[in-house]
Amino acid sequence: MELKIPDLCLVVLVGASGSGKSTFARRHFAPTQVLSSDYFRGLVADDENDQSASGDAFDVLHYVAGKRLAAGRTTVIDATNVQRADRALLVEIAREHDVLPVAIVLDLPEEVCLARNATRPDRDFGPHVVRRHRTALRKSLKFLGKEGFKKVHVLRSQSEVDDATIVPERLLNDLRHETGPFDVIGDVHGCRQELEDLLGALGYDLVRDAEGRPVDAVPPAGRRAVFVGDLVDRGPDTPGVLRLVMGMVSSGHAFAVCGNHEQKLVRALRGRNVQVKHGLAESLAQLAAETEEFRRQVERFCDGLVAHYVLDGGDLVVAHAGLPERYHGRASARVRGFALYGDTTGETDEYGLPVRYPWATEYRGRATVLYGHTPTPEVEWVNNTMCLDTGVVFGGKLTALRYPEREVVSVEARKVWYEPVRPLVAAAPDREPDVLALGDVSGRRTIETAYRGRVTVRPEQAASALEVMSRFAVDPHRLPYLPPTMAPTATSKRPDVLEHPGDAFAEYRAAGVREVICEEKHMGSRAVVLVGKDSGAVYTRTGRPFFDGELGEELLARVRSAVTEAGLWGEFDTDWLLLDAELMPWNAKATGLIRDQYAAVGAAAVGALSAALEVLRATAARGVDVSELLARTTSRLANAVGYRDAYERYCWPTTGLDGVRLAPFQLLATEGRTYHDRSHLWHLETLARLDSPLFTRTRHLVVDTGDEDSVAAGVRWWEELTAAGGEGMVVKPLANLTVGERGLVQPGVKVRGREYLRIIYGPDYTEPANLDRLRQRGLGAKRSLALREYALGLEALERAARGEPLWRVHECVFAVLALESEPVDPRL
Amino acid sequence: MLLTLTTTHQPATDLGHLLHKHPDRAQEFRTSAGTAHVFYPRADEQECTVALLLEVDPVALVRGPGSTLTQYVNDRPYVVGSLLTVALGSVFRTAMNGRSQSRAELAATPIPLRVNVPVLPHALAERLFAPLGWDVAVEPIALGDGTDSRYGDVTLTGTHKLSDALKHLYVLFPVLDGSKHYWVDEDEVDKLLRAGDGWLATHPDRELITTRYLARKKPLVQSALTRLADVDDVEPEELDNALAEPTISQAEPKVSLAVQRRDAVVAALRAAGARRVLDLGCGGGALLRALVQVPEFTEIHGVDVSARALQEAARKLRLNRMADRQRERVVLRQSSLTYADPALTGYDAAVLMEVVEHLDPERLPALEHSVFVVARPRTVLVTTPNVEYNALFETLPTGQLRHSDHRFEWTRAEFREWAHGVAERRGYAVSFEPIGPEDPALGAPTQMAAFVLDDNSTLGEQD
């Protein structure tokens, strides 16, 4: 005997003690699918038969059942469930999670139960218990359907039990095996001519009957149409639309979900008392001219429409009024209600139409959701959802979306067929921005990145990033990226220095990177420049704007005009560019820090050591031996002067933007495109075309890590740079993004100059005793952090390029900031 | 760092006896602060100078987890402060206690003394040393850009018993150093009492001295925000300013503006009949404390984006000592008004007291959505400064805002324009109320908008 149960459901076993429920469950379901009351009694009370623990045991059992159903896992309840009240709770849990409850009743004779219990020493509670169970069960049997169980299977003998097999059935809405490609078509509302136009534009061949009426349309190879519902009402030819769509559905050329208008039409055709409003009158009048046979077909067709479909392995959901993720692939009156009518707030607007809750702004699901129901003048993506109702019947357009291409195809209405109650214009000119939710960023988060798998953000990291992002950063719409931190090269074993280019070359050679580029490190502040044709932002590594108000606008204007001069808008076919750059001088941003920290230490050090030297010399002149201390102090004074010179070199006075320099070194993205697959030479050459006094070029040298002469030339180049007061250089794989045998390769390592490092490690770091200790620095955490942030940054750029919703981009950007609060040695 | 001490009491070389350190030898001492060197650049009958030079190991000074960049580049090895006084107390302990076997009488006699420290944070030097009878001469030390640093080359001249002079230095150097003083020792209070014996009790600034001496900053406990400040090369205070005091603290004669504001908000909430109340941007809990006093408020939900502010609020509310019933009324949670937070829905009223002006104007639409669409309580109270009134604050320079973190301050007309826009877009009715003394031309210092959900309106949730 085959017991059919829905693919996803709550199976409630019903049967007296000893009826063999546990054995049955074991035979047909995985152990983790079965929640047994005995087991839960054991969990909470250490005794499976302690009836006094039943209350707690069922609390926990219900909780676990809820979690499983929320996650979309079929669950089996192994308990007697002979009491109506117990079953009612389970039906309620199933409804709460919009899955169908199914009852499998083991109605076995009393003697079978008693015999089975007799073999179980822990079930010595006497025959009256079994008898009571069976009485309750028999009373329940005929009401199970009424109680809400969608299917009831009753097994009345041991042989029936033994013969039973469980057969899962796909839900009606489950078309995951249909992988498209699809042409999803918005609300048609009886506009047959426009539908013919649109199908033509989509490349479908219309099939006409003897009277020339279209009765089918043959799609281009492999494609299928999906209608989002509301085929009927208001328009001039509802029967014509139905004839065509019903033909397409029955020939397998199309799917259609139910709209609220179809639902109501069915009721009207069945003679139910419905209000003949919103264009229903037109449909009824038009259908009255058709044959009775046709009207019956229409009634059957509309009645049989499913409220939503899950397609393409779960990646596409089509529902008339849209559908939040928790309802995808679920079945309940609530799910159907949402799919047909949306989540109405109960309020009505000034035109008497229901106000709809903007579920799409909160949508965070994986699947693309396509829907109709609410006419809008233009389609747009909101969090991976799109409303395709462009109001053709009101004189707008009929729209289809090609999936997975995401290409919009529209045809104009031939005329205004029906006067809209509410004008078909955008509801508010200042449209709600893509709303970010606290849940998009807070708490423990795991982000799937293309280049380094899952990256985890801990709650406390997110907490501090939340404060900085909320209070100080530029608007997330203008913050598509934050740059990753960069690790230094491995600590050098050479005497006298902490970092040396030879180690960087060796490291890349070992990672299989043959060609690297050395880029001069400009000692300024890292700046990301988003320059649009009429907007943009220049921001720091934590997303804070560099300059307030007019100065920031002026800087952007200068970048913009350089981009225009260089002809980059057209070349990249874009309205914006995102640049990674260094902004100089250092004091442009860090004035306070330099004054109160670096300069103060310099002044204090030079002052204190000069005075010390003076008294030591006087002491020595008296013939007291202070020679060692004198030598040490002399050396420390030289260090202090070296330190002071080092930071002063990177500071110069600026007035407004005069004196400010920008050195862009990478084009991160333009509209729909990223560039981490282009060589760094390409980046530098492209950006060198930005030509104005604002811009500084980045000197660079390509080194072959496998060639000794080339390596020696690279070392020399670094020595010359740093001897002339340069901060140092960054060594990067020439090819840019590089994935090696052991995963992502560091996108760059910095090799800082000996003098520069005084402002990082303190004036005296070069004293041999200090250097030896500083060499113990551990780089592992910094390197891992650099790679994680790099992967997140790439992920943000690629998501933005793919046109993904703001929250998907923002979660990556936010994660970079959150990771930056990780306690890593800040000197690295 | 260096300190020299000179006497012209004759024979001046007796200084060596008082200090128990021979003038013709250079000596070295290990102290917990570093290696201290004692030597005499001059020692003759007329004048004798002792030098105390402390060498600090800069690498060891800042080792340990959680250190931030600003600690590595550190003025500690050069500036006279708590490190030097630790060495002073250790190397010259006997002299500081006024004991001298060979010159007991001299030790009890005031002698002319001159103390020089080449690098000392000098802002309070005159104020603290002059009342003790020292002449204070300061030569400020310039920074590279020509402006003065907080350090000066300081010379103190006066006639004191040597032990008293050493005690003055021992207590006051760390006090001058102020917040940078973080050398922690267990029995700091005892040390202060001993070293302050005989002079501190009568010092006009004794409270300042005591507070600053004992207020020490723990160097190893750094907030995550400090690390983010490091990333951006800015000082920690620039980001970690959620609890910063306003630039002005207008002391009204009877009731301060802050109190009037609080009272006005509480009164408006009661008038609205609110029971479940949101304090959005609760900061350190100034309003929460007032709300808790009102039993009608059955649930008080305080929200701030700053974790530190929330800790402070919990501390001020004495949350961990509240009775269970009281405790149950209060929720403190981190959230952000620029992100939609569904946990804020279902309340009767929300207060944004002095909050909106801390947001960049471009983020206000996000705040509007969070408060008026997502939280959507029946009543919303918003208070904000009236910038017109700033002219009446004598201590506030023209054009400067009242708090360093204010992104803007609105005129009454600007506030009304924003509030009316919100009300219209979101289906609320709005009315305005001045808070604080009202000037006929410039209005009141604080302005409040009271939004009430308009039952007849149909807008608000359909964008």
Average pLDDT along chain A: 91
Q: Does B333 touch chain A (CB under 8 A)?
A: no
Give me A55's structure tokens.
Answer: 């209350």
Locus of tokens 């309750």: A136
CA separation for the pair B95, B124 (Å, rounded): 26
Determine whether the interchain pair A437/B305 forms a contact, defined as Cβ–Cβ distance below 8 Å. no
pLDDT, greater one: A501 or A650: A501
- Cβ contact B39:B26 at 8 Å: yes
When pLDDT is averaged across residues A474-481 and rounded to a whole number, the result is 94
* Residue A122 burial (10 A CB sphere; 0-12, 13-18, 19+): exposed
Closest partner CB to A468 (pick from B2, B73, B228): B228
The closest CB to that of A624, out of B2, B25, B463, belongs to B25
Which of the two residues, A94 and B64, has the higher pLDDT score?
A: A94
Amino acid at A599: A
Q: How far is B105 from chain A (nearest CA, A)?
A: 29
Tell me the nearest-neighbour CA distance from B439 into chain A, angstroms. 31
B61 pLDDT tier (thresholds 50, 70, 90):
low
Short-list A246, A188, A239, CA closest to A217? A246
Overall residue count recorded for chain B in this entry? 463
Cβ of B280 under 8 Å from any chain A Cβ? Answer: no
Query: Which chain B residues contact residue A548 at CB under 8 A?
Result: none
Chain B CB contacts of A326 under 8 Å are none
Quick one: pLDDT at residue A760? 85
Q: How far is B378 from chain A (nearest CA, A)?
A: 16
What is the percent of chain A where pLDDT is above 70?
97
Residue B219: the pLDDT is 39
| pLDDT over 50 (residue B461) | no
Q: In this complex, which of B39, B69, B78 lies closest to A626 when CB atoms are compared?
A: B39
Is A624 close to B79, i.e. CB distance below 8 A? no
Element (H, E) at B90: helix B82-91
Share of chain A above pLDDT 90, in %: 72
CB proximity list for A746: less than 8 A, separation 6 or greater: A487, A507, A511, A783, A786, A787, A790
Phi and psi angles of residue A447, each rounded to the nearest 5 degrees, phi first = -115, 130
pLDDT in tens, A49-63: 888 999 999 999 999
> End-to-end CA distance of chain A, in Å?
70
Query: Would you state the pLDDT for residue B255?
Result: 62
- Give CA–CA dist A538/A531, Å, rounded: 8
Residue B343 with chain A: CB contacts under 8 Å: 438
A241-245, A357-361, A485-489, B428-432: segment of lowest average pLDDT: A357-361
| Mean pLDDT (whole number) for B414-430 | 95
Shortest Cα–Cα distance, B79 to chain A (Å): 6
> Rounded to 5 degrees, what are φ and ψ at A349?
-90, -175
B305 residue type, one letter: V
* Tokens coding A595: 């004054």
Interface A-B: count of C-beta contacts within 8 A: 260
Q: Which positions ≥6 away from A443 have C-beta within 8 Å?
A: A459, A462
b/e map B334-346, b = 16+ CB within 10 Å? bbbbbbbbebbee
Q: Write out residues 17-36 of B within 8 Å (CB-CB) of A.
A: 24-26
Predicted confidence (pLDDT) at residue A597 exceeds the cutoff of 90? no
Q: Where are the alpha helices (DSSP H) in A414-473?
A: 459-471
In whole angstroms, how far apart are CA A368 and each of A382, A599, A804, B414? Answer: 10, 56, 11, 42
List pLDDT tens digits, range A549-577.
Answer: 788 899 999 999 999 999 999 999 999 99
A385-399, A428-442, B311-325: lowest mean pLDDT where?
A: A428-442
Strand partners, A675: none
Residue B76: predicted pLDDT:
78
Q: How close is the nearest chain A Cα to the Cα of B354, in Å?
A: 14
Instruction: For residue B459, give the chain A residue with the closest CA.
Output: A349
Residues A175, A257: contact at Cβ < 8 Å? Answer: no
β pairing state of A525-532 and A536-539: antiparallel
Structure pTM?
Answer: 0.78
B39/A633 Cα distance (integer angstroms): 14
Cα A798 to Cα B421: distance, rounded to the nearest angstrom: 37
Question: Are A607 and B151 an interchain contact pair (Cβ–Cβ within 8 Å)?
Answer: yes
Q: What was the pLDDT predicted at B176?
A: 87
CA distance B434 to B422: 19
- Indicate the angle between helix axes A708-723 and A501-510, nearest 10 degrees: 140
Q: What is the pLDDT of residues A400-430, one digit of tens each?
A: 999 999 999 999 999 999 988 776 654 443 4
ipTM over 0.85: no
List all residues 6 or more positions away from B247 whose beta carbon is below 8 Å from its beta carbon.
Answer: B396, B400, B401, B402, B403, B404
Hey, are the CB atoms on A428 and B68 less than 8 Å from each other? no
Q: Which of A348, A350, A470 to mutate to test the interface with B (most CBs of B within 10 A)?
A: A470
Using alpha carbons only, what angle is made at residue B370 by residues B325 and A427, rounded to the nearest 5 degrees? Answer: 145
How far is Cα of residue A214 from the mean position of the Cα atoms in its chain? 43
Q: B147 CB near a chain A CB, below 8 Å?
A: yes
| Mutate which: A348, A421, A425, A464, vs B, most B CBs within 10 A | A464
CA nearest to A625 within chain B? B26
Q: What are phi and psi of A805, to 5 degrees?
A: -60, 155
Of A435-439, A680-684, B347-351, which gets the smallest average pLDDT? A435-439
Q: What is the pLDDT of residue B218?
A: 44
Query: How buried is residue A373: exposed, middle or buried, by Cβ count under 10 Å (0-12/13-18/19+)?
Result: buried
Mutation site for B-interface testing, chosen from A362, A363, A468 by largest number of B Cβ within 10 Å: A468
Question: Min CA distance, B38 vs chain A (Å)?
Answer: 10
Residue B238 has a pLDDT of 72
For B126-146, write each residue's pLDDT tens digit.
999 999 999 999 999 988 777
Whether the link from the prior residue into A585 is cis, omega within 30° of 0, is yes
How far apart, in whole angstroms, are the C-alpha atoms of residue B82 and residue B205?
Answer: 19
Q: Indicate the residue of B77, B151, B461 with minimum beta-carbon distance to A355.
A: B461
Distance CA A351, CA A375 (A): 14
Q: What DSSP designation does A436 have?
A: P
b/e per residue B292-305 (b: at least 16 CB within 10 A): beeeebebbbbbbb
